[in-house]
A and B are shown apart, each in its own frame.
Chain A
Amino acid sequence: MTDLLWLIPLLPFIGFVINGVCYKIMPKTLAAIIASGSVAVSFIISLLLFFALKNGDIQSATSFYYNFITVGNFNVPFSLLYDQLSALMLLIVTGVGFLIHVYSAGYMHDDEGHNKFFAYLNLFVFFMLLLVLGANYVIMFIGWEGVGLCSYLLIGFWFGNDAYNDAAKKAFVMNRIGDLGFLLGIFMIIVNFGTVDYAEIFTKAKDYEIDYAGVTVLTGITLLLFVGATGKSAQIPLYTWLPDAMAGPTPVSALIHAATMVTAGIYMVARSNILYTLAPVTMGVMAVVGIATAIFAATIGLKQNDIKKVLAYSTVSQLGYMFLGLGVGTFTGAFFHVMTHAFFKALLFLGAGSVIHAMSGEQDVRNMGALSKKLPITFITFIIATIAIAGIPPFAGFFSKDEILAKAFEYSPILWGFGVLGAGFTSYYMFRLLFLTFFGSFRGTHEQEHHLHESPLTMTVPLMVLAVLSMVGGFINIPEVLGGTSWLKEFLAPVFAYSIQKSEPAHALSHDTEYMLMGISVGVSVVAIALAFIMYIVKKSVPASDSDEKGLARLLQHKYYVDELYIAIVQKPLDKLSSVFYAIVELKFIDALVNISGRGAINTSALVRKIQTGNTGFYVFAMVIGIIIIIGFTLV
């Protein structure tokens, strides 16, 4: 069965090649069918493999294809790893990916770059699958950089617009900063382990734990890898590219910047869980960065008025929760949240896309309102997703968020407290968004109102499927305290076994404590929703125009001025340094020195030339002097 594994990434790649080469002559419908079809077949294969794995018909296995880079004893094989973790990621990537391809067929139908769009989308899926399936860090890195490239191409998809191009460039460069960390992590692994293969590294790492030096090495490696993760998964301090990345077409935001690519960092840490478990310092750093990002981004989300920007900050914030989960040691919980988040966040973005589509490109919620009647399917599915992200049981978000928060409480009640606070913010800004968009009265132009329509079936069917998943997705891991069997935890146990064994707490939380924790977090969410209800339904208030905001609200609206800060402390100084190096060090110093030496040679020769007078008497005189000197030297 695992013989079919290579087909999973290859099919989207073939789709990319066909659409990429024939993009000029390919009819739009055919291009969409090829692109979606290739991902659909990959999904079916993933599904077959998954059931085989679940039923024990096949075991996790590494498939070797060829030696990619070989230098002496060091070898990077091109090989793919199929295990429980990659099996589930495959399902998310190809499943959600397929739905978004279908949706795009409707969304991008009238765009002149339609075929190019599908080629890029297929290429993205290919790289994402490589990232997930790679059996060593280098293959993962290929996928890692590859998805970054596709992200760059798709953010700047409408490259006539310079703001979009800047957003694309920013995304690529910020990711590269993280990638340098990732690369250095890989080098450190190579130097210390002599291999990049997961299985070999993890086996060797277990022997490392005993001594202090070993822990230092592992801490270094994991911190460097984590730097990579902060880039790709938009954590402090490298998160600023993600909100800007909303410049891309909305399906891209859903697929790349919400459901799949940005979770690559979590996947990477989960994949390396053994290394991380052995480096408690890194775990602590990760938990703190995660919760800080979660709160920080959530507060920004409170005051954004662009529908996609709200969702973008929400994504950053939710990714923060996932890192919190990783940091406090619940790899399963973090991965569970990756999964449920993929469902409801993809749904939110696609819903937003449907709204933007209907509103003829309008993205500002202050110009929307009362869309529930005109876009009923979008409305209902959007509500479901909003409830799911707010953590209201029994929707998907509740279970995954609860798992992370419960574990955070074990680790430190303070982390838990911040986590609950962030959850309150989340509920507030999401319901604010929902109310402003779909309730109240319509605030757009007359023309927009006239044009309002529900999206075509190609767009609404994916919404409905994702809505179902957002409702029931949480049931795969119902904790014991609620009478479930924690299926996901059991399924992933082979991958996380070592970490679970290592981080098992001395005494687990009692059921009563767990009920209380759940009660509080749900309670906070409900209160936040009620506040949003009072504010935007009862009081019917509409956010003030940008310049009217004062104090804290203004600070939030301007995203704490972090972008401005980065420009002031990094970009401008770097440009300045470049100019100074060129104008002063290069031209006025190094090159001037070269020119002076050249000029010096010419001047000296001009001086020496003056001796060549043609006067025989002088020559004879000089000769005599010379002879005297030579004789003098010989005698002495």
Chain B
Amino acid sequence: MIVAALILIPFIFGLISLFASKYAKYTSLVGALAFATISLGMVYTDLSTTATLNCNVPWVPSLGISLIFNIDGINAILLLLTAVITPLIIISSFSGREYSDNANFYALISFMQCALAGVFTANDLFCFYIFWELALIPIYFICAIWGGENRIQVTFKFFIYTIFGSLFMLAGIITLYLQTPAPHSFDWNVLNTLDSVDDLTEIFIFICFSLGFAIKMPIFPLHTWQPTTYAVSPTPGTMLLSGIMLKMGIWGFIHWVLPITPQSFIAWQNIFITISVTGIVYASVIAIMQTDYKKLVAYSSIAHVGMIAAGLFTTNIEGVQGAVIQMFSHGVNVVGLFFVLEIIHRRTGTYTIAHLGGIAHKAPFLSVCFVIIMLGTVALPLTNGFVGEFLLFTSLFKYQPVLCTTAGVSVILGAVYMLRMYKSIMLGSTNDITQNFTDITFEEKVVLVPICLIIIAMGVYPNMILSISEPYSYDIVNFIKDNRTDILTYINTK
């Protein structure tokens, strides 16, 4: 029943925060910390003790809907990511800008956490869909209420775009549901073992699901909502979106697409990987000439997510494990990066890279943190980013060396745009805008120091994450492998 606690705690603290007026920030934080404590404890207990972890309660038996929530080794990592990132996001908002109407603000963050926990653990497709849509609401309000210039337009586009994907997903869900033997069921275990689906229906379901998930991640060329949304959202919103929410899409592929429509996936695998690799290079190239630092990081994030997707789609063990650890690393790094940029924005009021310079003279502590996070982002060894990229590239090389080499260009381009940004913002001489820059405060250190420590700790001892998910990643790898064998024997017998 631990999973129920993980979903309910943020919800309850969210409700409390709604009415806690100026104390909302603390109630929300307490909720997030309780969540973190439970998740940490959970990850390092035996994940096979399903009875204590999971939850399975009938909800609408006549329609085959149940409240099924499961924890396995992969979503445990995502829960852990949510657990680590959410408190940091809450604390990051304590300093700097005062959020008007902050009870609502913090309540929305807690609700967001609740929805994320639901999406990551739901094992009933109906519940999954509900939480999937639920997650959109808090983030929409966070961005639309506290966002910057053009926020209404931009968040509207974001909202419509993702809803568009969700509708396809809904169509896919209903089609899939109708394939189950009567009385129908939404249970993952039932969906997973469906045999009788004909090819055309499976492909339809596969495309519907993939569209929904690909928009959320986002995968090139469905990504154009993302840079503007990141740029306009208030930083806590950007952190939630980039740090955790986009992992919903990747998780969707891992947990729903691969197990339920494996054969369509195998048929489309080449196309998907090629598209992902194209996206990696495309986004990396675009990032080079960005003038707005938030947009630059947004494009770099598209490149990184493209890499996760490409590796995952190879469905060999290095790829799946690499995707898992990289989801965590990317979440930590991108949140750190956006917070560093937020700190710079608080003190200078500009998002334009060219207006800055020389900050390292004034803020040595900030520059050390910035460097560490940047190194994590460009995947230097002994940082968390290296392990993920190393495994993902290995998987891609195994799949197809030419694609790996193409994607590998991002190793170089990543260094180009990150160092260029760092140089323009932090190095050189100070100017009118940066000459009174002050180094980071204690509250800001509380966020950045743990992030830096995680980056290094995971880079030095990545097996602490990898060992948790390995058996579960193998399940996926073997499942796809078996299906591939089935297809081959089918073709051969024909």
Contacts and interface: CB of A to CB of B under 8 A. Distances in A.
B214 to A, nearest CB: 14
A160 interface: yes
B64 interface: no
A138 B459 CA distance: 13
B415 interface: yes
Contact of A71 (B157, B317, B429): B317
Interface in A129-145: 138, 141-142, 145
A594 B285 CA distance: 21
Interface string A176-202: 110110011001101100000000000
Contacts, number: 132
A578 B288 contact: yes
Interface in A575-594: 575, 577-579, 581-582, 585-586, 590-591, 594
A146 interface: yes
Interface in B423-474: 423, 426-429, 461-463, 466-467, 470, 474
Nearest to B428: A162
A108 to B, nearest CB: 18
B286 interface: yes
Interface string A61-99: 000001111111010000000000000000000000000
Contacts of A177: 412
B285 A184 contact: no
Contacts of B387: 69
Given A67-B463, A142-B381, A586-B286, A598 B423 contact: no
A285 interface: no
Contacts of A598: 157, 160
A277 interface: no
Interface string A545-586: 000000000000000000000000000001101110110011
A159 B360 contact: yes
B382 interface: yes
A578 B289 contact: yes
A160 to B, nearest CB: 5
Give the size category of B's interface with A: 35 or more
B94 to A, nearest CB: 26
B298 to A, nearest CB: 12
Contacts of A595: 157
A176 B411 contact: yes
Contacts of B382: 142, 146
Interface in B264-282: 282
B321 interface: yes
B360 A72 contact: no
A179 B423 contact: no
Max chain B C-beta neighbours (<10 A), residue from A145, A152, A177: A145
A481 B157 CA distance: 81
A214 B391 CA distance: 25
A229 interface: no
Contact of A183 (B221, B290, B408, B467): B408
B419 A169 contact: yes
A172 interface: yes
A68 B384 CA distance: 12
Nearest to A220: B401
A180 B408 contact: yes
Contacts of B317: 71-72
A582 B288 CA distance: 10
B358 A160 contact: yes
B189 interface: no
Interface in B325-352: none
Nearest to B288: A578
Contact of A581 (B225, B285, B322, B416): B285
Given A145-B380, A173-B412, A187 B394 contact: yes
B141 interface: no
B429 to A, nearest CB: 5
Contacts of B463: 67-70
A71 B391 contact: yes
Contact of A69 (B282, B360, B391, B474): B391
A156 B462 contact: no
A145 B382 CA distance: 10
Contacts of B321: 71-72
Interface in A94-145: 138, 141-142, 145
A293 interface: no
A405 to B, nearest CB: 36
A574 B401 CA distance: 24
B366 to A, nearest CB: 14
Contacts of A138: 381, 390
A138 B462 CA distance: 14
A180 B157 CA distance: 38
Contacts of B221: 590
Contacts of A161: 428
A165 interface: yes
B285 A146 contact: no
18 contacts: A68-B461, A69-B390, A69-B466, A70-B463, A70-B470, A159-B426, A160-B361, A169-B423, A172-B419, A176-B415, A177-B412, A183-B408, A574-B288, A578-B286, A578-B287, A581-B286, A582-B289, A594-B161
Given A74-B394, A187-B393, A191-B397, 14 more contacts: A67-B463, A69-B463, A71-B317, A71-B466, A72-B318, A145-B380, A160-B358, A161-B428, A162-B428, A162-B429, A187-B394, A191-B394, A582-B290, A598-B160
